[in-house]
Structure 1
Amino acid sequence: MKGAATMVREPIRRVTVGRWSAELLPRQPYEAQYVADRPILGFAFESQAGAHAYASDRIRPFRARPNGLAYVPKGCDVFSRSSAGGEYLILRGFELKGPSGVPFSDRSDSAAAAAAHALRRLVLSHAPCDSLSYEAPIIALVERLQSHMDQEPDRRGAADSMTAARLKRIEEMIEARLGGALTVQELADELGLSTGFFARAFKAAAGRSPHAYILDRRLARARALLASGIKDLCAIALATGFSSHAHLTTAFRQRLGISPSAYRRGLAAAAVGHP
């Protein structure tokens, strides 16, 4: 690929809307230990693996699925570490009805996924937005969390067929082929399932349709290449499965609310402001 490569670390992005505050954490290794001073809603955009412990329980290995909803009640002590991490959204300042409940993570919820992706798009775009624009996805996320607090989600049916091992196998296949042609039929064939059943099972387990998930992963790879300092957008497009620079730019704008060039300028500005 053409152009000198200089790695730029992606910043933590923060937004405050009234009593709500949101943090968008970039993919990076981490180790965190804290006691929650208020309830925390978390959302993992990517798969993550590492070790964690809640409420003084013993430290256990974990592998979290993509588009997973998480919750930590006030007063809960948390330990978590990962050698790679993953892009993660944290929301604070909300109120829940009823008991505070117990912590959980890795809950699949397509409505929560849609709201989290909409909120990420606003945070990344840097475009001036009124509070109402941010409130809609924030409220939707809190409502989905309340739903999980009120009643255990129904995990029967198609979701049962997408085991953790199967989901990991499909994720690895997608990552290995992001730069080339890939169809949902091929993914279904990998597991010996019909295309329709596979699509339903994948969405139930991963919170997004296979098509949306593949596009999310291609954009995540493109963001990483932009941060690495590669300047040739055509080369980035071809390396991430897009047919052209224009195709990449359109997907960036539609999904992330910003062009690749503007995204790269934002990274450079953040690097100057945070040496």
Structure 2
Amino acid sequence: MPDTASATKWTVDQPPSDRLVAGWTGGLYESAIRPFTARVEGRIAPRHHLLMATLKGGAARHSFTTDGGFRFEGRDAPGMISFLPAGCERRLELEKVCWEWGAIAIDPDLAPLRLDGVGPFASADDPFLFGLVRQMHLLATQDGALDETYCDAMSLALGQYLVSRGKVVAHVRPRHGSPTLTARQVRQTFDRIEAMLSGAIRIRDLSEPLGLSEGHFHRAFRASTGRTPLEEISERRVERAASLLSQTGLSVTEVALEVGLSGPSQLARLFRGAKGASPSAWRRNLSR
């Protein structure tokens, strides 16, 4: 059984309640409930690799930065997941938060796969990782313990997914002589776009963490993925908007602001180009 007290060091000014911990030889599952709190500040310093998910509720604003410069700022809601490698500290701020979260912690010394190359990331659209946390949560809360064989299998699946996730790049043949990004740089850029989607995204925000000039980054991104950074950002804004339109009761104006756009007219223009219909018409068609 792992030392559950030291798997992750949580330092927050207002600790959550109803903490649950269920462990196995290679890691542990942890969850907690936080009643409405106006503001929370703190740090997370994991000794284990840590996959976290918002199971219920959320936060009006969730902002964090990690060692290495990865940052996220936006609204938090059920389905939001994030990954923090062992030894990578996160500084966080939450506003108007009321949620239930779950976390899978994997001992790096016992992990079936080496995850040294997997960096921190956050995503509001990764059903596999969210489903994994939710399933482990159900088992831990129903039984009060976790089956060793099941957890070993899930740890292997999680590790393989995280490793392969960093290698997913559009299959585009780079132009001869054009600068390109590595698979890891592309994945890191995708993660940064996802994390910053609720606000303005500048090319500099994407190029500086890679140590590249804006011009070099723009050319390399296009050569590596077959699209410009703006095209990638716009497509992700539309897909995030479609998810909000189908799963929430937010107005079109509210959805536009949630995905970092200036208003409903800008969302409508992008949405028609990608979906062939306005956001309102697209939402109405879902119920037919």
* Larger of the two Rg values belongs to structure: 2
Q: Which has the higher contact order (CA 8 A, sep 6+)?
A: 1
> TM-score w.r.t. structure 2 length?
0.48
> TM-score w.r.t. structure 1 length?
0.50
